[in-house]
A and B are shown apart, each in its own frame.
Chain A
Amino acid sequence: MDNRKTGDLYWKALFDGYEPARRWMAGHRPDVAVIVYNDHANAVGLDLVPTFAIGTAESYAVADEGWGRRPVPPVTGAPELSEHLVRMLVDDSFDIATFNRLDVDHGLTVPLSVYCPEPGDAWPCAVVPVLVNVIQYPQPTAARCYALGQAIGRAIRSFPQDVDVAVFGTGGMSHQLAGARAGLINAEFDYMFLKAIESDPEKLAAIPRDEYIRETGTEGIELIMWLVMRGAMSARIRRIHDSYHVPASNTAVGLALFEDLGGT
């Protein structure tokens, strides 16, 4: 999107699938987006790998990943909500690392572009980045991600300010970049996942790490980040739209948009 290729036939079907979700989001603009994502060897190296981390800054520059900063606006933070989340999570026995300063890479900015492809000078909402390690093994379990999501949900609901919060779960879907299984796509699993994320997330949370790797590829493990999003939502949610498209680069791209109906 940020390379203005949306009219190209290769990309058209993918972006057409986003349109109903974008329209709904445009009519339901959040004040803050809590974006659960993974860094790609930009802000996080291999000297220190946090399993879970939260950005706490007033703003986040867009990373230069080695081929220039993407031509998208810098990201405005929500430091008060960040601080509230960190305190609530630590008190809820989650050991959270904090990025008090952070450049955000495409793992965060591409989902923002999916939501709002033409932001102009500024994204439509502030952002709290939640980083999950999916690159170094062992990644957190899907169950732990789901539990973190539930704690994030409790923390969001207890925030004393009246703000509308969207939670983005990013990553996946099935894909593998390296090795003899490069190019792996498992549409059957992806369709199952797109369905179960709404009505049976516990089933997805129970899938072991090695089974995600086997079924969805070494990079498909990113799907655990959707469970953070789902955990943060209430038990009662409404599916607004979903879409699935292969390929975007080497990846199966899925989108599912839910409205939180509240209640436990």
Chain B
Amino acid sequence: MTRTADNYVLDLTASRRGYAINRLCASLTDEDSRRRFGADEAAYCDAFGLTPEQRKAILHRDWTAMLDLGASIFYVFKLAMVDGKSMQYLGGVFTGVTAEEFTELMRLGGQNFGR
């Protein structure tokens, strides 16, 4: 899995880079689309014109790579929900802890990272 950057900002460059992957994630709000995605994820990625790197990130659920390739967390979350994964799970992925550990860290007040 990829090492994560501190912050991901969806500027216009990132948005251009991630257009196909964000569009794929957005499509998953539709029930029929979710069914087709589940039936053949690779074909679904191809139908949305993902780059080989984006396709690999989706199929391997490399959440950090998705962001590096221009995905926005709000779009990525729609894929996470299809998998039944929470924002705490994703937070744990990005910070190297389990979902339970991340949830506990939030319960204790979060982290201010030196702010």
Q: A41-B74, A177-B90 are in contact. Are A185 and B109 (CB under 8 A)?
A: yes
Asked if residues B5 and A179 are in contact (CB atoms below 8 Å), the reply is: yes
A181-B4 Cα distance, complex, nearest whole Å: 9
Residues of B within 8 A of A136 (CB): 10-12, 15
Asked if residues B91 and A182 are in contact (CB atoms below 8 Å), the reply is: yes
Asked if residues B110 and A178 are in contact (CB atoms below 8 Å), the reply is: no
Q: How large is the interface on A (under 10, 10 to 19, 20 to 34, 35 or more residues)?
A: 35 or more
Report which of A42, A187, A214 forms a contact with B29, defined as CB distance below 8 A: A42
Asked if residues B95 and A66 are in contact (CB atoms below 8 Å), the reply is: no
> B15-53 CB contact bits vs A (8 Å, 1 = yes)?
100010011011011000010000000000000000000
Mostly, the A contact residues are loop
CB of A62, distance to nearest CB on chain B (Å): 13
Asked if residues A179 and B67 are in contact (CB atoms below 8 Å), the reply is: yes
Report which of B7, B22, B111, B112 forms a contact with A218, defined as CB distance below 8 A: B7
The stretch among A115-123, A194-202, A246-254 that forms the contact with chain B is: A246-254
Q: Is A191 an interface residue (CB 8 A)?
A: no
Q: A183-B111, A186-B115, A250-B106 are in contact. Are A178 and B28 (CB under 8 A)?
A: no
Could you tell me how many residues of chain B have their Cβ less than 8 Å away from some Cβ of chain A?
44
Report which of B4, B67, B88, B112 forms a contact with A184, defined as CB distance below 8 A: B112
CB of A31, distance to nearest CB on chain B (Å): 32
Asked if residues A138 and B11 are in contact (CB atoms below 8 Å), the reply is: yes
The number of inter-chain residue pairs (CB within 8 angstroms) is 126
Residues of A within 8 A of B81 (CB): 66-67
Q: Is B78 an interface residue (CB 8 A)?
A: yes
Asked if residues A46 and B109 are in contact (CB atoms below 8 Å), the reply is: no
A65-B82 Cα distance, complex, nearest whole Å: 11
Q: A177-B91, A250-B106 are in contact. Are A213 and B112 (CB under 8 A)?
A: no
Asked if residues B26 and A41 are in contact (CB atoms below 8 Å), the reply is: yes
A218-B12 Cα distance, complex, nearest whole Å: 15
Q: Which of B12, B67, B106, B110 has the most CB of A within 10 A?
A: B110
Report which of A177, A186, A252 forms a contact with B87, defined as CB distance below 8 A: A177
14 contacts between A and B (CB under 8 A): A41-B26, A46-B72, A136-B11, A178-B73, A179-B4, A182-B90, A182-B91, A183-B91, A183-B95, A183-B110, A187-B109, A188-B115, A189-B115, A246-B109
List residues of chain A with CB under 8 Å of any chain B CB. Answer: 10, 40-42, 45-46, 64-67, 135-138, 174-189, 213-215, 218-219, 246-247, 249-250, 252
